[in-house]
Amino acid sequence: MSGEAETVPDWQLERYRLHELPSDEQQAVAGAAERSEAIRARLAALDRSDREILALHPPRRMAEEVRARAGRVASRPTPSLRPLLVVAASAAAVLVALTQLVPSARGPATTPVPPDETRIKGLRSGLMLYRQVERDVEPLADGALVHARDVVQVLYVAAGSRYGVVVSIDGRGGVTVHLPAGGTRAAELTADRPTPLASAYELDDAPTFERFFFVTSAAPFDVALVTEAARRLGSRAAEGPVRFDLPPDFSQSTFLLRKDGPR
C-alpha cells in the first residue's frame, strides 16, 4: 500500500487529524489509513510531534509569557484600524499558547491549501489570530464569534514561503490589505517563526463575517493579483471551503471570523 500512502499529502493528514476536511475527504483518508500501515505511521509521527512540542515548552508558562508581553502595551489608545498591539512572542510560545487555550488546534488555526512543503518544525503555513480582552489576549479559533470593536492581532506563519499578502473580506464585500503595510508588491516574509503584523485592527460594524486570506509564493508578485481575486469573491467568502482563483503555484490559507453586533 505504499503507493496509496504517497497519494495522501502531509497537509491532508494534518487537516484529517483536526477534522477540517469535507466529510467525503475525511472518510477517504480514514479508509486509506485503515488499509495502509505507512499512513498510520505518518499519523503517529504527527501525534509524537505534538507531544514533543508540549514537553519542550510547558503550555502554562508559555501562555503566561504571551500575556505578559501583550500586557506591556495594552494600555495604549485604541484607534480604529491603526496600530494597537503587537504580540512579539517566539514561535514556540505562540504555538503552545494556542494549543493550550484552543485544544483542537495544532499550529495555526487555518484551512491550509497545498503545497506539502509548508510544514517546518511542526508549523504549517497559515494565520493565527488573537483578540485583546481588557489587559489580556486570547487566541481565536477558525470560525470564532467576534464583535464589532473587538481588537484583533494577526500573525502569519510563512513555513518556507518567501513572499506573501494578507487581505480580508468583510460582510459588505469590502477588501482590506493587511500585509504589506504599503506598496504594490507582496511582502518578503519572515521564515522561521510566527510573525505579528505591524498593526492590530479594531473590527468595524460590517455584518456577518470577516475572512482573512494569506496568499504566498516562492517568487515576488503584485498585491493587485490578490485584491482583484478578493473582489471577485466578495461576500461569497462567508462559507468555506473557499479559495481565490489564482494560479496553482500560489499557496492559500484562510481564517474566518463570524461577527455579531457590538458587545
**pLDDT tens, position by position, 157-208:** 988 889 999 999 999 999 999 999 889 999 999 876 788 998 888 898 888 9
Q: Is the pLDDT of residue 250 over 80?
A: yes
Do residues 97 and 153 touch, judged by C-beta distance below 8 A? no
Q: What dihedral angle (degrees, nearest 10) is formed by the CA atoms of 210, 211, 212, 215?
A: -150
Which residue has better confidence, 99 or 211? 211
**Per-chain mean pLDDT for the chain:** 74
Pairing of strands 195-196, 201-202: unpaired
Q: Which residue has the cell 500560489?
A: 250
Do residues 181 and 141 touch, judged by C-beta distance below 8 A? no
Question: Which cell goes with 126?
Answer: 497559515
Question: Which cell goes with 259?
Answer: 461577527
Measured CA to CA in angstroms, residue 229 lies from 1, 154, 189 at distances of 40, 21, 21
Residue 89 Rama label (left phi>0; alpha psi -120 to 50; beta) = beta
User: pLDDT tens digits for 141-162?
Assistant: 888 999 999 999 999 998 888 9
Measured CA to CA in angstroms, residue 117 lies from 12, 87, 112, 122, 250 at distances of 12, 26, 12, 11, 13
**The model's pTM:** 0.59
**Angle between helical axes of 91-101 and 37-56 (0-180°, round to 10):** 110
Question: Going by C-beta distance under 8 Å and a sequence separation of 6 or more, which residues neighbour residue 30?
Answer: 16
Range from 69-78, 99-108, 129-138 carrying the lowest mean pLDDT: 99-108
Q: Is the pLDDT of residue 35 over 70?
A: yes
Q: What dihedral angle (degrees, nearest 10) is formed by the CA atoms of 114, 117, 122, 124?
A: -30
